[in-house]
Structure 1
Amino acid sequence: MFITKALLEDIPSIYRMEKDIFPFAWQEEDFVYEISENPFSSIYILENDKELIGYIGVWDLLDQIQITTIAVKEEYRKLGYASKLLQYCIDLSDQKGYQMMSLEVRISNKKAIALYQKYNFEIQAIRKAYYQDNHEDAYLMVRNKKEEEICR
Structure 2
Amino acid sequence: MLIRAIDLDDLDRIVELEHILFTSAWNKSDFIYELLENQFSFNYVLEENDQIIGYVGVWLMYEQSQITTIGVDPAYWRRGLGRMLMQEMIELAMKQGCEKMSLEVRISNQPAISLYQSLGFETVAIRKDYYQDNHEDAYLMVKGLEG
TM-score tier after normalising by the smaller chain length = over 0.9
| Aligned residues of 1:127 and 1:137 also touching (Cα < 8 A) | yes
| Aligned residues of 2:106 and 2:136 also touching (Cα < 8 A) | yes
Alignment of 1:34-49 (within 5 A): 34-49=34-49
Rounded Cα–Cα distance in structure 1 between residues aligned with 2:92 and 2:68:
15
Q: Secondary structure at the match of 2:79?
A: coil
Rounded Cα–Cα distance in structure 1 between residues aligned with 2:64 and 2:55:
19
1:1-38 residue CA offsets vs partner (Å, 9 max, x unmatched): 01011011111111111111111211111111111111
Letter in 2 for 1:7: D
Question: If the length of structure 1 is used for normalisation, what is the TM-score?
Answer: 0.94
> 1:60 deviation in Å?
1.1
Residue 56 in structure 1 maps to residue 61 in structure 2: no
Q: CA RMSD in A?
A: 0.9
Contiguous gaps of at least 5 residues in structure 1: none
Residue equivalent to 1:142:
142
Residue equivalent to 1:3:
3
Contiguous gaps of at least 5 residues in structure 2: none
Rounded Cα–Cα distance in structure 1 between residues aligned with 2:93 and 2:122:
17
Alignment of 1:86-101 (within 5 A): 86-101=86-101
| Aligned residues of 1:8 and 1:36 also touching (Cα < 8 A) | no
Question: Which 4+ residue blocks in structure 1 deviate beyond 6 angstroms?
Answer: none
> 1:97 deviation in Å?
2.1
Alignment of 1:42-121 (within 5 A): 42-121=42-121
> 1:49 deviation in Å?
1.3
Q: Secondary structure at the match of 1:113?
A: helix
Alignment: residue pair count:
147
Question: If the length of structure 2 is used for normalisation, what is the TM-score?
Answer: 0.97
| Aligned residues of 2:60 and 2:96 also touching (Cα < 8 A) | no
Identical-pair percentage: 50
